[in-house]
Structure 1
Amino acid sequence: MYGSDRAGDDAERTAFRKTEKKYKLYYENSKSTKKKKQPKQVDLSEVLDFKSISESFNQNGELPPGVVHVNCGFDRPIFGLENRPGFYFIPGALTLDEQCTWIREGLTNFPQPPNRTNHNVIYGPISNLFVAAKEGKVFVEEERSDNGLDSEPTASVSNGDSHRWKFYEEDIARSRGKTCKTVPASVLLRKLRWSTLGLQFDWSNRNYAVSLPHNKIPNALCRLAKRMAEPAMPIGEEFRPEAAIVNYFGSGDTLGGHLDDMEADWSKPIVSMSFGCKAIFLLGGKSRQDEPVAMFLRSGDVVLMAGEARECFH
């Protein structure tokens, strides 16, 4: 799911993959282990910046070639691309308060069971990961019959076999480190890659597993998604979100080009909200051989993909 550096020669790469490599974060080689690695310079001159585009449009009504203004009565400017019908970009759509709220929810509540995360396969469901990381706790694997630790754990989960994992204070975990597997909660938090809301997606079978336990998407998030989806919705219809995925990115992380093609109804848009650091988003065509358009995503930006854009790699 997440990008890797393994690839063949340029001739064997698709246009989408070449562009991914073009904008991926690389570091300069350094012989000194003490010197902080410096990122390699990347030419960003061809990356669309809808924040600047919006500011220029508000001042003089001008737009760069290939970019269009979508006039649909929304309360802020919306832009699209001439060669990607159904693509909508809403720069700065979310207020600072909204951004802070959903960043906090994304770290504290969204990874909570029964929502699944990328950690489920190895560790099972993990409760209160953010709190454990903040408190410097350590995750310890032990046999179910082992009651040898003196301190009451803060959380306990089973990975489905004869072992279970618990959060403990660092000094207690250290005393068992030679006989049990341990991993700091802070490491697990850094390695958190995704969590799912609403209907849970089964990544092994690539479908929505209705039988898996799940909670409904929070009402406040549903209302926000409905409001943001309005410009891309068929007339007279209301957006009703049933499932969502939260992707977490660290510096240099990438998400490989893909299609969101497991939904039964493609007439409704994908609603994507961005929070946190600035990133580069690639919007390709219906084939990986179509060269993608690169654009900056900033915290508070919203992207909608409907119609033909629903079938584009991104």
Structure 2
Amino acid sequence: MRYFITGTAGFIGFHLARRLLEDGHIVMGLDGMTPYYNVKLKHMRHAALAQFPSFTPVVAMLEDRQALEVAIEAAKPDILIHLAAQAGVRYSIESPRSYLSSNVDGSWNILELSQKLDLKHLMLASTSSIYGANPTVPFHETDRADEPLTIYAATKKSMELMAHSSAHLYKVPTTAFRFFTVYGPWGRPDMALFKFVKNIVDGKPIEIYGEGKMSRDFTYIDDLVEAIVRLSAVPPAEANRVADRKVETLSQHAPFRVVNIGGGQPVGLMEFVEKVEGALGREAIRRMLPMQQGDVPRTYASPALLEALTGYKPETGLDRGVKAFVEWYKDYEGELGQSFG
């Protein structure tokens, strides 16, 4: 199969591309190498993918429609997976316009160009942030999700809505999958696990928001990739409509579906800190802080639709997942450098 993936120098895109390449597929990966965090890690990821002769890297921004079109035409993909985005919930409060540019304009470019292709499946990365402070748990894809708390969440919801319209008009089979706190080796430096490990190793305090009372449905990266790969083989269509109407999100008007990718096992933030301490064999210097603007008290996925479609749900425990990250960090600590972050 031929894949075109946006965001292959990013955390999730790198892992997905590597899995597909290992499985023998052809992958063209596009990334803008934006400096949201140190691009050294992004170049390291692409260098690791370059070891596969069937990988072709392209450096271009999603907003550059001409460059994007040239790349997609060269790739001739069977499946297009759109992962690239301006990430970061808190940063969206400081720099909202960058999210509109990347997550709305850039995503529209992907949707518009996809209309001209004969794709087996268009897959789009969305987020659990769309659920906002939904008081009902677990979060089901059929829940109302019209009260985002950040511009990041609002732009992802906008992408989903545009994708539904495009799927209706041009009949491109489209799945939007919502991530739940993804973590693991090669992770982003702005995320909690990376910050916690780095600061504990460096003997610096870790910042624990919400006084440690928040909880998250953590998803290990390998589980996420497995779910995406399995979902790629189930494009939205009447032929694979799930019988349980309480969980099915297949549109009545378009080949479009929304799917959670999460295990449905939320973990308290303090338990997460203890797992990190255990993996490192060191206690953290804890700095307790109030909840930050835009944060939600908990995330909690219902994996029912994912299981119905693929027979799979994320199950890797925190002990194993955190240990894997710590081992990776120790291997790369010197290469990342003291200025990394």
Q: TM-score range by the shorter chain?
A: under 0.3
Question: Which protein has the larger Cα radius of gyration, Structure 1 or Structure 2?
Answer: 1
Give 1 or 2: higher helix fraction: 2
TM-score (norm 1): 0.22
Q: Of the two structures, which has the highest relative contact order with CA contacts closer than 8 Å and spacing of 6 or more? A: 1
